Amino acid sequence: MDIAAESARLKTAVPSVYLDQWVWVRLTLAAGGTPRDPADTQVLDAVRQAAEAGVVFPLSATHYHETTRITHPRQRADLARTMVSISHCRTLCSERILLRDQFLEAMHMSFGKPTFRRTPPQSLGIGAGWAFTGKRLQLQLRRSTEVVDPATLPEGMAEGFRRATQYAEYQLLAGPQDSDLPHLRQLGYQPEKLEEARQGRLGWETFYADLLADDPISAAELRVRVQAREIIHEHLKLLNDLCAEYRMDLLQATGAGPERRKASRRRMTAFVDLVPSVRVAVDVKTHRFRNAAKEWDLNTVHDIDAVSLAVPYCHVVVPDREIADLLGRSKAGPRNGTHVLRGLRDLPDLLADLARTAATSHHRVSDEDWVRQGEEFCMTMEDLQRHGTAPAGG
């Protein structure tokens, strides 16, 4: 497999930089005039300039998950305001859609099914819907019982509708006010269910860490087992669906059998290693499990989710320091053609290079139907009222 060609196949068409949540928090503090480090103000300026030049700073589903865990509405709103003003709610596509493409490419390379190489799905889109389902959420206008096509609206109303959609995306990231919760619960809002699912995923990792403490194994064997656990727990349904779709028996394709156990195991491992996002997650988790002194927490699970998508698709990734170290040990950055930074010191210089690339690129993100040149993202009810899309008194 041509690793360079595969990494280029997945990269976003425009220069992209994935910032972990801690970076967005630091930028928010700098934007509010209380930088944690004096250099953060320069980093914020560099990020804003790069965004204006056409560099994209996409959010992911992980950003939405982590932001909802902030309990104070004002802190969520301040953080969301910084994230939205720079990212314009551009998001990486749903993990399931991106992983489907990656698995199909690995099946093609390993087993010849499908028989052709696919064009990767569009990895960059707009909003929470794109991040969670791969479909852009659209507000609906209704006239009586009929849905009104926004394209048929008069110019003034169309402009207001566009701004209202911006405001809705901001609200999806910032989350509800405490006063909104009783009504939302009547509509079925149950954030504790999401927290239960998160804790279940954390429990899956801590359970295995406890097992390893009583049954140490070699590094090579650990990686094989972590890879198997990753497929079983995170991707088994998707893999089974794809095998059924292409009428392929995976065990037969890998030559599984009592007399060929080692050979089939090697083939299965090699096949899964061709799925870039899974390989990133497996390598990071393997190195993490080898350090028995480090306890697992939910932030670690979220961070691994984030980098497993961001590293294959983005040109620069800024994770937290521990995850950056683990990515460095596994050579995930060079293998995917990605700059992985351990901090913010080198980010401004990289952004300057990416901004120059964006300025000369034939590929640019078209914002005219979303956020126009020089326009501030709509994040307040007052702005909506100025465009006639919210009732007076809001």
Each residue of 164-222: pLDDT tens digit?
A: 999 999 999 999 888 888 888 888 888 888 788 889 999 999 999 999 988 889 999 99
Examine residue 58 and state whether it is found in any structural domain, yes or no: no
Q: How confident is the model at residue 4 (pLDDT cuts 50, 70, 90)?
A: low
Q: Is 393 exposed, middle or buried (0-12, 13-18, 19+ CB in 10 A)?
A: exposed
Examine residue 271 and state whether it is found in any structural domain, yes or no: yes
Q: pTM value?
A: 0.91
Lowest-confidence pick of 207-211, 279-283, 367-371, 385-389: 385-389
- Mean pLDDT for 314-325 is 98
pLDDT value of residue 3? 55
Examine residue 304 and state whether it is found in any structural domain, yes or no: yes
CA atoms of 357 and 15, how far apart (whole Å): 7
Q: How confident is the model at residue 310 (pLDDT cuts 50, 70, 90)?
A: very high
Q: Which residues contact 67 (CB under 8 A, 6 or more apart)?
A: 21, 76, 79, 80, 83, 173, 174, 175
Q: Where is pLDDT greater, at 340 or 387?
A: 340
pLDDT value of residue 6? 63
The number of angstroms, rounded, from the C-alpha of 138 to the middle of its chain's C-alpha atoms is: 20
Q: Which residue segment(s) compose the domain that 199 sits in?
A: 98-120+194-309
**Antiparallel, parallel or unpaired: β 316-318 and 90-92:** unpaired
Examine residue 247 and state whether it is found in any structural domain, yes or no: yes
Examine residue 327 and state whether it is found in any structural domain, yes or no: no
Examine residue 131 and state whether it is found in any structural domain, yes or no: no
Residue 392 has pLDDT above 90, yes or no: no
Residue 258 has pLDDT above 90, yes or no: no
Examine residue 214 and state whether it is found in any structural domain, yes or no: yes
Number of domains in the chain: 1
Lowest-confidence pick of 81-85, 103-107, 177-181, 257-261: 257-261
Examine residue 15 and state whether it is found in any structural domain, yes or no: no
